[in-house]
């Protein structure tokens, strides 16, 4: 793993909401910090209502984490394109984020309870 990436269990319980609906809640979320970026919360896939997410054709490549797959989040307020992402096959050193999903906090609400 790159020295500038740290992964740890996120303290406490975390929730993700979109359009007023709870998409997921977890006591087992991970916090990934990368350099000077704000920490990102990764939710275990089993703690997310995957019926609210639809995989898109979008992807990006990170030299440290691998290829990210994106998801549109469906909410009562409408669809939020590419609001979530996951590393289906993360690179060596960041394997912990496999089977986890992160969300753009400017598109949905992610908060600690």
Q: How many domains is the chain built from?
A: 1
Q: Which CATH number covers residue 65?
A: 2.170.150.40
Range of the structural domain that residue 15 is part of: 5-112
Residues 6+ apart with CB under 8 A from 12: 27, 112, 113
CA distances from 112 to 14, 18, 23, 67 (A): 4, 15, 14, 27
Q: Read off the DSSP letter of residue 106.
A: T
Reported pTM? 0.95
pLDDT digits (tens), the chain, 113 positions: 567 899 999 999 999 999 889 999 999 999 999 989 999 999 999 999 999 999 999 999 999 999 999 999 998 889 999 999 999 999 999 999 999 999 999 999 999 99
């Amino acid at each position: 793993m790159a020295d500038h990436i740290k992964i740890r269990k996120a303290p406490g319980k975390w929730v993700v909401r979109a359009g007023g609906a709870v998409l997921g809640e977890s006591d087992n979320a991970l916090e990934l910090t990368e350099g000077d970026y704000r920490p990102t919360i990764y939710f275990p896939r089993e703690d997310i209502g995957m019926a609210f997410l639809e995989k898109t054709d979008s992807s990006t490549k990170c030299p440290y984490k691998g290829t990210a797959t994106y998801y549109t989040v469906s909410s009562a307020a409408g669809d939020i394109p590419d609001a979530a992402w996951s590393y289906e096959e993360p690179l060596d050193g960041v394997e912990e984020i496999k089977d986890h999903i992160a969300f753009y906090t400017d598109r949905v609400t992610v908060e600690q309870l």
